[in-house]
Amino acid sequence: MHCELQKIACELGIREIKYTGEVSSYPKDDSSYAITRDPSKCILCRRCETMCSKVQTVNMLSAINRGFKTIISSPFNLPIAETNCTFCGQCVSICPTGALTEVDYTSKVWDAINSDDKIVIAQIAPAVRATIGEEFGFEAGTIVTGKLVSALRILGFDKVFDTNFAADLTIVEEATEFMHRLQNNGRLPMLTSCCPGWINFFEHDFNDLMDVPSTCKSPQQMFGTMAKTYFAEKMNINPENIVVVSIMPCLAKKYEAARPEMQTNGIKDVDIVLTTRELAKMIKESGIDFASLKDENFDSPFGESTGAGTIFGASGGVMEAVLRTVYEWITKKSIPDLEFNAVRGIHGIKESSIKINDMDINIAIANGLGNARKLLEMIRNNEANYHIIEIMACPGGCIGGGGQPYIQGNTEILKKRAEALYRDDATKSIRKSHDNPYVLKLYEEFLGEPYSKKSHNFLHTYYTKK
C-alpha cells in the first residue's frame, strides 16, 4: 500500500509524505449535504479519482482520503464540503465498495410521513420513471410512472406530483429569458441552468462568466416554491406544515435544496431529496411488490405535464423543449417538426442550428463536466458562436445521474433510458410546454406574465463565486 501512496503522491507533485496508518484510521466524512465517504471501505482502486480528474475534469482528488498526510498542506485532509466538489455523484456511481455513497435521508422522510401535523408531498423527476424499474427486475428503458405513483401513496405520501409540470414551467420562463436576451442585445450565449452539478462547477471554475447562465431555478426548486406558495394558498395550508420530498436521479440536488438562496419567505423550497436508489430501498424495506402494483395517476394541479417536460431527463432534452417553444413564439406559426434529432443521443458534445424566421440559432449541448469545460473555455476565449447551450453534469444527462441504479458505465443502458423518455414524449397529447393548460392557469391565477417581477421573485435565482 505504501508504494501505491508514493505513486499517487508523485503524480500530484508531492515530494514528501508521511504514512500514518491504515485508511480505516480516518474518520467518516459526512460534512456535505450530498456525499459521504467512509475511508474504512476504500481499497485504493482509484476509480473515483479517474472519474473526477479525467472524465469530469474537476480534479477534486480530496474526494478520497487515502490514508496518508503530506508534510505540506494537502487537500486530502479537507472535508468534502470544503473542496470544489460539484456533488455530481459520478464517483459514487463507480465506487465498487461503498466507500463513497449519497447522504441517506430516508429516515427523515419516514419521520415526516409519520408526523401527524405535516403534509408530505412527493415530486418525481423526469428521468426516475425510466430507471427505477431496474431496481425491481424491469428491463432497462421501461417506463413505470403509474407504479411509482402507486408505491409513493402506499408509503404514506399525502400528495404525489410530477416534476415534469415544473419542467414545463421552467421552459416557459427560460424560453422567455432567451427571447429577451436575443431581441434586446442581451448576453449570449445563454446557458441552461437546470443542473446543480454543473452550476457548482461553474461557480468554482468559471465564475468570471456569471452573466452567461439563465437565472431560472431548476424544475425541482420551481416546484418547491409553487408548492409552498400557490398550492398552499389554494389548499389553505400553512406552508410551514408542508414537507416537499424530491425523488431525483442526482446527488447534487441534495446540495441544491440546501443552498441558502433556495427559499421563499424564509422557508426552504425543497425539504428533503432522495435519490432513485434511496426510494427503491424504501419501497423494498416496506415489503411492497412493486411489479404487481396497479398504475395510478398523479394528483392535480401539478400532475399534468407535456412531452417536452418528459425529455428533460435526457441530454439535449431541455434544448429540444426550449426550441419547440421559442420557434412558435417568434414565428407565430406551428413548428413543422417536433423532433430535433440533432440534439439527441449521448455524445459528449452536440452542435446544430435551427432557422427561426431569417435567423440561424446556433446551439450546443454538453453532457459530462469534461465536455462542459471545453464549451465554457470557448465562451471564455470568445471562440464560441452559439446562441444557447445546454449543459448536464452527468453522462447522458439525468438518465446517467449519480443517484440512479448502478450501471458501471454501460452506455447501452443509457441509450435505452433515453429512448424510453422519447417514447413517452411521443405518446403525450400535448408536447410543447407553453401549451400546458395548468401552467397557463398558474400564470393567470398567481404569477402574472412569464419573466415578470413576480416570476423573478419566485422562479429565478442568483449565483455565487466560490
Q: For the segment 138-169, what is each residue's pLDDT rounded down to a tens digit?
A: 999 999 999 999 999 999 999 999 999 999 99
Least confident of 313-322, 323-332, 334-343: 334-343
What SS3 state is found at 119?
Answer: strand
Average pLDDT value for residue range 284-309: 96
Return the residue matching grid coordinates 480516518: 26
Same domain? 136 vs 75: no
> Considering its fold, how many domains does the chain have in total?
2
Same domain? 142 vs 70: no
What is the model's pLDDT at position 11? 57
- Residue 114 or 84, more confident: 114
Q: Residue 96: which CATH number?
A: 3.30.70.20
Return the residue matching grid coordinates 440533432: 342
Is 341 a domain residue? Answer: yes
How many helices (H) and strands (E) in the chain? 17, 14
Domain boundary among 55, 87, 102: 102
Same domain? 110 vs 27: no
pLDDT at 7 over 90: no
Same domain? 269 vs 218: yes
pLDDT at 62 over 80: no
d(CA 397, CA 418): 9
- The pTM of the full predicted model, rounded to 2 decimals, is 0.91
pLDDT at 408 over 90: no
Catalytic residues: 174, 177, 194, 214, 253, 256, 261, 398
Question: Which residue range forms the structural domain that includes residue 326?
Answer: 106-459
Burial of 258 by CB count in 10 Å (0-12 exposed, 13-18 middle, 19+ buried)? middle
pLDDT at 333 over 50: yes
Is 169 a domain residue? Answer: yes
Domain boundary among 41, 73, 102: 102
What is the model's pLDDT at position 9? 52
Domain boundary among 45, 75, 102: 102
Is 465 a domain residue? Answer: no
Same domain? 160 vs 111: yes
Same domain? 92 vs 131: no
Percent of the chain with pLDDT over 70: 91
Q: What is the per-residue DSSP string for 236-265?
A: T--GGGEEEEEEES-SHHHHHHH-TTSEET
